[in-house]
Amino acid sequence: MEQENTQTDKGRRKALWATVAIIAVAAAGVIGGKAFYEAKVNELVARSGATAGSVEADFLGKIHIRDLTLPLEDGKNIKIAAIDGRPKLPFLDGALDMNGIDIDVPTGKISMAHARVENAAFKKPAPAASGDGNANSLPRRIERFAATRISTPEVTFTQSVADTEQKTVYTNASLTDIADGRISRYLIDNGSYDIKMALPDSDGAMKEKHLVVSTGTIAGQDIDVAYLARLYTEKAGPDDKEAKPLYGPLSVAKISFTDGDGHFSYDEIRSDGFSARLPAEPLLETLKALSATKNVDELSPQERQAYFTKGLSILDMIGKSNMQLLGFKADAPDESEGSEGKRVKAAIDRIDMQMDSRRLDFGLNGMSIGNGTDTIEVAEASLKGFDWSSTVEGLSQIAGLDDTQIETFPFNRLIPELGTIRVGGINVDVAAPEKPEEETEGTPERIKFTLRNFEMGLTKPFNGIPTDIEIRQDGLSLPIPADSSEEVFVEARKLGLESLELSYALAAGWDEPNNNLMIREISFSGKDIGSVNFSGLASGFTEEFFAFDVNRAQAALFGLAGRELKLTVKDEGLMAKAIKLYALQNDMTEDQVRGTLTLVANVLLQQVAAEQPKLQGAVDALARFISAPGTLTVMVKSTGANGLGLFDLAAASDNPMLLLDKVDIQATAD
């Protein structure tokens, strides 16, 4: 028994010593690991070009960094007062808590009292890039950082650009899935913006304004932060000609802003994304150069051209983008003369904008503007195909000219391609402008009209001048005042007219290969009245007409020749109304007036046909149209190889019948 007890005691002592040995070895390993961990963190800090006041690692594998400073270009820094936590390890998630963060950016500073980074990872530069001078550039360092989430209760951004100062505060901001320089998603609970800037007042004088802006939720996807850093710090290389996505879909809810007197808001602003191309020179250098110039007038022509070229180069960075602004509302004081105390209220259901480099499309739906009893409504408006390429290029050229050269500069080069403008569903009801020299009695006069559609297309510019024009107005409705004493309105009321609805169109284009002017349509029409439509073709229409030179254009007129024209007249009530009005004014019946008109017209027309047999067909068609109004169509074609020139028309000004031997006339009446 004693021997067995002795054996047991020896076993216990061996086990105890073994346990102590294991603990000692483990403790030594932890202490060694702690030292190794601290060394690695110090190495990482040094490799990034940063400095730290102290770096420590505890026995639980957490790091503690104090007073970290990471230098950026141009003497700017990222400063973090404290970092505590553990980066992501192959077998263990990590999180870093940071306090006292200040980031210098080209136009200001970003500050955060606290931020949390989950599963932060820092890649080493690739061996092939170790000899690359850009391996430690800001974009490359951003690309080597990864994290599953970064969040902060509040971030403040202060910046100053030219005469504008802005302070931005975002609350509860988070960035998710960060890798390879990109942020997959971001979310901000709300934002506020305090802006001081100079804006023109109603007289055009610049005054300092204080804008206060707030937003609701801000959410978006796919921000390429590394590419954004490249835009500021790098210039385009041979492979950087195309624009690349900078950010993806974005939504900002409940935006409101005020300047003290006026209040404005949007229900939501959203975008499908924005792309940009690298500039010829880093954007940061361009902004510095522009800011360094205080007085442009003091620059030499060459320096001024370089200055404007740098400014215009920012526009060339724009790739494709779009934006939708929903639910706009405005309430602001009316600053027009004599409107003290009045306010203007406006609302727009939707605004759409698309940009593709220097090309712009714009759309608007559901606009209303009210000021007391005055209202203006526009159901829709759009601008498509606006292109300012020629304007940008012309400004760049003119900036480098002296006063003498500017005098001979062809300013038509500055004209942009206007594209197509369209507005529809216009309803206007406003007070007529007051005339101080006239006394008004009773109810003030009002201006009322509606317009169904207006469209103007000015496209295909040559030397800045549009070579294709299409202007069309449909359904301009003007009410005829019931209480007006104007004779024309009184007579219109007698005819049963309560409103006039008028339309017109002009469409023409230059056929450059054949040097022809094609008049597709010149028309005028009225509801319950009828229409007149003219079309034609002229040859000899050369580029001299687009030279912005009066002498050259006048000389080119002698080469212009008429080839053909078509005239269509439709009666849809005008003849009947004219007969009714004549009958009322002359105490006759409508049948009496119609019979007299037909008789007189036939006598006169047959006399013309007897003198000019070539006009017999046209005379017969016109007579049928007068007796039974419908549609009259007249076709006139030149029979000569050279058409009808300016001298032919001049000779016929005294005697139009001289043209009959040079044209073929066909007419029909239906």
For residue range 563-581, list pLDDT tens digits in order.
999 999 999 988 888 888 8
- What is the identity of the amino acid at 35? A
Q: Among residues 399, 386, 398, 391, which one has the least CA distance to residue 415? A: 391
Q: Among residues 391, 376, 468, which one has the least CA distance to residue 423? A: 376
Q: How many residues does the chain have?
A: 670
The answer to whether residues 520 and 508 touch, using CB atoms and an 8 Å cutoff, is yes
Highest mean pLDDT among 284-298, 398-412, 430-444, 538-552: 538-552
User: Where does 248-307 show beta strands of DSSP type E?
Assistant: 250-258, 263-276
Query: What is the predicted pLDDT for the residue at 437?
Result: 60
CA 403/CA 401 separation, integer angstroms:
7
To 5 degrees, how large is the angle CA 95–CA 99–CA 101? 110
Q: Which residue has the higher pLDDT, 250 or 21?
A: 250
Q: Which residue has the higher pLDDT, 632 or 7?
A: 632
| pLDDT above 70: residue 126 | no
Query: What is the predicted pLDDT for the residue at 345?
Result: 93
| pLDDT above 70: residue 665 | yes
Q: What is the pLDDT of residues 335-394, one digit of tens each?
A: 765 556 688 999 999 999 999 988 999 999 999 999 888 899 999 999 999 998 888 888
Q: What is the pLDDT of residues 638-657, one digit of tens each?
A: 988 888 888 888 887 778 88
Beta-bridged to residue 565, according to DSSP, are 536, 636
User: Tokens representing 303?
Assistant: 């320096």
Query: What is the predicted pLDDT for the residue at 347?
Result: 96
Phi-psi region of 25 (alpha: psi -120 to 50; beta: other; left: phi over 0): alpha
Q: Among residues 234, 118, 97, which one has the least CA distance to residue 176? A: 118
- What is the identity of the amino acid at 546? F
Q: How confident is the model at residue 191 (pLDDT cuts 50, 70, 90)?
A: very high
3-state secondary structure 389-449: HHHHHHHHHHCCCCHHHHHCCCHHHHCCECEEEEEEEEEEEEECCCCCCCCCCCCCCEEEE
The answer to whether residues 271 and 249 touch, using CB atoms and an 8 Å cutoff, is yes
| pLDDT above 90: residue 113 | yes
- What is the identity of the amino acid at 394? G
Highest mean pLDDT among 202-216, 339-353, 400-414, 648-662: 339-353
Query: What is the predicted pLDDT for the residue at 173?
Result: 95
CA 492/CA 482 separation, integer angstroms:
10
| pLDDT above 90: residue 72 | no
To 5 degrees, how large is the angle CA 662–CA 665–CA 669? 170
| pLDDT above 60: residue 442 | no
Q: How many CA atoms lie within 13 A of 14 on its CB side?
A: 6
CA 630/CA 616 separation, integer angstroms:
20
| pLDDT above 90: residue 25 | no
Query: What is the predicted pLDDT for the residue at 13?
Result: 43
Tokens 């209303």 belong to which residue?
A: 368
Q: Which residue has the higher pLDDT, 567 or 498?
A: 567
pLDDT mean over 125-150: 75
CA 328/CA 254 separation, integer angstroms:
10
Query: What is the predicted pLDDT for the residue at 123?
Result: 78
Q: What is the pLDDT of residues 266-291, one digit of tens each?
A: 999 999 999 999 988 888 888 888 88
Tokens 């006292």 belong to which residue?
A: 100
| pLDDT above 50: residue 458 | yes
Query: pTM for the full model?
Result: 0.77
Query: What is the predicted pLDDT for the residue at 619?
Result: 87
- Average pLDDT, whole number, for the chain? 84
| pLDDT above 60: residue 559 | yes
The answer to whether residues 348 and 378 touch, using CB atoms and an 8 Å cutoff, is no
User: Tokens representing 528?
Assistant: 């319950």
- The burial of 364, by beta-carbon neighbours within 10 Å (0-12 exposed, 13-18 middle, 19 or more buried), is given as buried
Element (H, E) at 346: strand 343-356
Phi-psi region of 45 (alpha: psi -120 to 50; beta: other; left: phi over 0): alpha
Q: How far is CA 592 from CA 261, 492, 588, in A?
A: 68, 21, 6
Q: Which residue has the higher pLDDT, 296 or 630?
A: 630
Tokens 């510095």 belong to which residue?
A: 288
User: Tokens representing 3?
Assistant: 């021997």
| pLDDT above 70: residue 444 | no
Q: Which residue has the higher pLDDT, 321 or 491?
A: 321
Element (H, E) at 454: strand 446-462
